[in-house]
């Protein structure tokens, strides 16, 4: 797991969100995995690293393979939310996932009130 994924996992925990499965293989016969997933709800999160450093996800072959993966996931009924380092660092990703889970009416406890 990347440091960025670990940061995101801690944010989910801080927001008291339901536990996600990590590195879920979602399609038989493929090696594709979701970084975070709530399988019963068919909600997945991908943390995309290397956006500004010409990482795998922004180069031709990697981008094309990601398109195949995300399109197959969508056709299988998955909602895939994709986030960059900036989205994780500014908490956008964690807050949007909280909104998505609330929309799906998953039970979770609200964070304690600030004093």
Q: What residue ranges do the domains of the chain occupy?
A: 3-103
Q: Give the residues across from 81 on adjacent strands.
A: 45
N-terminal to C-terminal alpha carbon distance within the chain: 34
pLDDT value of residue 63: 85
Q: What is the pTM of this model?
A: 0.82
CATH of domain 3-103: 3.40.960.10
- 25 SS3 class: strand
Taking the alpha carbons of 25, 23, 107, 83 in that order, is the dihedral positive or negative? Answer: negative
Mean pLDDT for back-to-back runs of 10 residues, the chain (115 residues): 94 96 95 96 91 58 89 97 96 97 75 61
């Amino acid at each position: 797991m990347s440091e960025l994924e670990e940061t995101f996992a801690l944010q989910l925990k801080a927001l008291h969100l339901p536990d996600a499965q990590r590195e879920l293989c979602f399609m038989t016969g493929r090696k594709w995995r979701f970084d975070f997933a709530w399988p019963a709800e068919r909600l997945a999160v991908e943390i995309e690293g290397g956006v500004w450093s010409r990482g795998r996800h922004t180069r031709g072959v990697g981008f094309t393979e990601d398109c195949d993966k995300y399109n197959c996931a969508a056709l299988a009924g998955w909602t895939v939310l994709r986030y960059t380092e900036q989205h994780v660092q500014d908490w956008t990703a964690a807050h949007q996932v909280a909104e998505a889970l609330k929309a799906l009416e998953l039970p979770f406890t609200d964070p304690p009130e600030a004093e």
